[in-house]
Chains A and B, each alone.
Chain A
């Protein structure tokens, strides 16, 4: 695919290299040509010095032939405006705007843009790892509002059913149960065994409640 990346900071440079490695044609735009020094020396793609908003810059970046555009500068308004311009003026359907300051997320949402907020997402992951090291997040949907976790079934739940474990929890749904390397779609009546790996789709509050329930010996 032909992809345009606006902003060659840490996120932009990393993104460019990943996309290049996956075989895409990349044009990366930044107002400051020094920023291109962040790109991996193996990166092969076009660099274009210019302001994303300025007339003609997106066209020189090849927006009329682009399949997608990501605006990943450290200005939320610039990201929103460039992404909106790409979508409404040049009909690029696949646009993503980075949310830099979590306080300004509402600005990007007002434009109806797909957004990734690495700041708030990163903070939440660190919080999870700090407070619940036993659970492992395997997939993160949206901006981490719902995630899929993997938890280990402890001995005190051996022989009890999945329904018994999850029934009192509001924001936690079973996705898969792996036993001795084989996964199956679990049902309410499925009997749990020690060391089963259970995948659940859950909010942050839901996974907190599940881990509390799994480790609470008194209740078990």
Chain B
């Protein structure tokens, strides 16, 4: 698989490294002088193509006609939109993935500009922080399909409502699946009649509604105060 990366800032360089380590064929296009020195320290020379990634002749020379996927990760949103549009309309790239720099511009990253997947880093990060604050110990491991579903991990606290209830009776089915239970360091794949114990860790796949439901079932019976002591009710 050959991936063309347009834009060589931190995100582009990191992505190129990840893909190279997984034996992908990668080409990264960048023209900003200040960044090229840094890129040559981070990446093999043959990966770097020097040129303006929004110039169609540069994209073509960098091999876009052979690319299976195009990642537009420049720091300018109009540049990323134009790159995705050119990639699909001029060069028939099968898949375009774009970074959204400013959440206010996210409304344009869709089929109008031939963006298949838009990753809104500020938005995803803000939501992760929000979840960390509002849902207790629940941690999002990663988001699937533009953030609609998440893989989450949570520890079952002492006294949670879910303890002792069989999974099939939890009424989660539509929005959430508990995929694994880790008990005393051993992972098991649960069945409908499995039950949870205090101190278990669970891994679940959930939609936002599912995550809320699960959070409710696994909530501390009493929310802890800031000094760690439980609030008296």
- A residues touching B (Cβ–Cβ < 8 Å)? 51, 53-55, 75-78, 80-82, 84-85, 88-89, 103-104, 106-107, 110-111
Please, how many residues of chain B have a CB less than 8 angstroms from a CB on the other chain? 23
Give B82 Cβ to nearest chain A Cβ, in Å: 4
Most buried by B among A51, A54, A81: A81
A159 to B190, CA, bound (A): 103
Residues of A within 8 A of B89 (CB): 110
Q: Are B55 and A110 in contact (CB under 8 A)?
A: no
Cβ contacts under 8 Å, B112 to chain A: 84-85, 88-89
Whether B105 contacts A78 by the Cβ 8 Å rule is no
Contacting pair A55 B55 (CB below 8 A): no
With A107-B54, A107-B86, A111-B85 known to touch, is A80 a contact of B105 (CB < 8 Å)?
Answer: no
Interchain residue pairs with CB less than 8 A apart (13): A53-B78, A53-B104, A55-B105, A55-B106, A77-B76, A77-B81, A84-B113, A85-B108, A107-B54, A107-B56, A107-B86, A110-B86, A111-B85
With CB as the reference atom, state the residue of chain B lying closest to A85. B108
Q: Is the interface of A mostly helix, strand, loop or mixed?
A: helix
Q: A77-B82, A80-B78 are in contact. Are A106 and B108 (CB under 8 A)?
A: no
Instruction: Return chain A residues, CB-CB under 8 Å to B105.
Output: 51, 53-55
A80-B78, A81-B78, A89-B112 as given contacts; A54 in contact with B102, CB under 8 Å: yes
Which residues on the A side are within 8 Å of B56 (C-beta)?
106-107, 110
A51 to B104, CA, bound (A): 9
Determine how close the nearest CB of chain B comes to the CB of A63; give it in whole angstroms: 13
Identify the 9 closest CB pairs spanning chains A and B, nearest first: A54-B104, A77-B78, A78-B78, A55-B107, A77-B82, A81-B78, A53-B105, A77-B79, A81-B81
Q: Give the complex CA separation of A111 and B78 in angstroms.
A: 13
Contact of A107 with B82 in the complex, beta carbons under 8 Å: yes
Chain B, residue nearest A55 (CB)? B107
- Chain B residues with Cβ below 8 Å from A76 are 54
Please, how many angstroms separate the alpha-carbon atoms of A89 and B109 in the complex? 12
**Which residues of the other chain, A, contact B86 by a CB distance below 8 angstroms?**
107, 110
Chain B residue at minimum C-beta to C-beta distance from A75: B78
Question: Are the CB atoms of A104 and B113 closer together than 8 Å?
Answer: no
Whole-angstrom CA separation of A89 from B89 in the bound complex: 18
